[in-house]
Amino acid sequence: MDFKDRKILVLGKNGRLGRALLAQLGDTGTGLGHIECNFLDDNFTGKLESNISAIINTAAYTNVDKAESERDKAFRINAEAPDELAAWCEKHHTPLVHMSTDYVFDGSCNIPYREYDKTEPINVYGESKLAGEQAIKAQGCDYLIMRTSLLYDATSENFFTAIRRKLREQDLLDIIADQICAPTYTSHLAKALLSILAAAINQPRFPSGIYHLCNSGEASRYDFAQAIFEQEKIHSQNLKCHTLSPITMGIYPTPARRPLNCRLDCSLARETFGIVMREWEEGLRECFSRLSSRMK
C-alpha cells in the first residue's frame, strides 16, 4: 500500500480493528477514540481536522443482544453518527471507509451473499448498521462500505478469546454448529482494507460502493471453536476442557436473533481491487503464532 504522504484518520482507535490499522499505517495514520471523538455527542465532527486524506470508521455499537434494549443508543452510534460523518466528508471532499456487517442479512439464503442481495436484518444491531449504510450512500461523499464477518484478534473480547478462556475453565463446551460464517483475523482484514483504500484513492474515479471482505473459506462457530481447541492443545498444557459439543442455535436462546447463513461472497473486491484474503485457517494459525511469540 502506498499513500504517498497522505494522512489517514482511524476512528475507533482502541478497538481491535482500529489498533490493527494504526499498527500497519505507522506514521501515515492517526487515531481518535471515544474520549476524543464520542459519537454520542451532538457535534463530534467538530473534533475532526480538515487536513486528513481519508477516514476509516471502525467505531460502532457492537453488543448484539444489548442493542435489543438500547435501540436508541445503537441507532445513534451506528446510523446517525455515520450520517453526520458522511456529511462532513462530503463537505471536506474526504473519502470515507465505513465498516459494516453480515448481520444486515436475515441468513435465510443458502449461498454466500452478494452485495446486491436483499438486506433484511432480524435484530436491532443489524437494522442500525443497515441504516448507517443507507445514510452514507445518501450523503454523496466518496465512500467504501466494507461488510465483514466474525472478526477476532488475540486480545480484545471476542469469540476467539472467549473460547480460549472457557477451554481453561470448563470441562465441556456447547458450541453453536448451525451458524456458518468466515472467521476473519483482524490483521488480515486491516492489511486488505488499507490496500483497497490505497487503490481507491489512486483511481481516476473513486469506486464508491459496498464491498464484502473477509477471510476465505467458511466455518460454523463449532468448526472455528474446534480449530481453536486443536491449536490450544499444541500450544498449551493448561486446558480443563476435554470435549466440544455441537448444538443448534435454537437450543441456546438469546435476546437477539442471529442469522444462520453469514457467508459473504467477496468476488467484487477481487474484481475491483485484486484483493483475495487468505483462508481463515491461515489467519488462526498466524494468530496463535503471534501469541506464542509474545509469551516467549
Catalytic residues: 125
Helix/strand/coil for 39: coil
Which cell numbers in the block locate residue 10? Answer: 482511524
**Cβ proximity of 284 and 231 under 8 Å:** yes
pLDDT digits (tens, 9 = 90+) for 86-138: 999 999 999 999 999 999 999 999 999 999 999 999 999 999 999 999 999 99
Interatomic CA distance for residues 82 and 271, integer angstroms: 27
User: Strand 180-181 relative to strand 219-220: parallel, antiparallel, unpaired?
Assistant: antiparallel
Q: How is residue 275 written as a grid cell?
A: 484483493
pLDDT at position 1 is: 64
pLDDT (mean) for 62-89: 98
Question: Looking at residue 280, what is its pLDDT?
Answer: 98
Residue 184 β-bridge partners: 151
One-letter amino acid at 207 equals P
Contacts of 260 (CB under 8 A, 6+ apart): 107, 108, 178, 179, 180, 249
- Separation between Cα atoms, residue 291 and residue 28, nearest integer Å: 26
Planar angle of CA 98, 100, 103, nearest 5 degrees: 170
**CATH number attached to the domain at 8-157+183-216+264-279:** 3.40.50.720
Terminal CA-CA length for the chain: 31
pLDDT of residue 291: 85
| 192 in Cβ contact with 213 (< 8 Å) | yes
Reference 21, options 1, 49, 44, 51; nearest CA is 1
Domain boundaries, the chain: 8-157+183-216+264-279
| Chain segment 137-194, per-residue pLDDT in tens | 999 999 999 999 999 999 999 999 999 999 999 999 999 999 999 999 999 999 999 9
